[in-house]
Amino acid sequence: MVVECTLTVCGASRADVGYSNAPDSEDEMEPAKAAYSDALKRAAVGFGVGRWLYEG
């Protein structure tokens, strides 16, 4: 499953896509939730959310 998410903050938009953790696996209990969460996090990175995690 693939989900596209667009975040808009103060008129600026960032978009990205998210994927379920294991799209072909029967172990994936909530593939839609995983894909939405992944897309939201990836779009937020476009605004610098969590950037401090990667700065050394």
pLDDT of residue 53: 82
Residue 47's pLDDT band (boundaries 50, 70, 90)?
Answer: very high
Judge whether residue 27 has pLDDT over 90: no
Judge whether residue 24 has pLDDT over 70: no
DSSP H helical ranges for the chain:
31-45
Stronger pLDDT, 25 or 10, i.e. the higher one: 10
**Environment class of residue 48 by beta-carbon count within 10 Å: exposed (0-12), middle (13-18) or buried (19+)?**
exposed
Instruction: Enumerate the domain spans of the chain.
Output: 2-53
pLDDT of residue 54: 78
Q: What percent of the chain clears pLDDT 90, i.e. is strictly above it?
A: 62
How many CB atoms are closer than 10 A to CB 38?
20
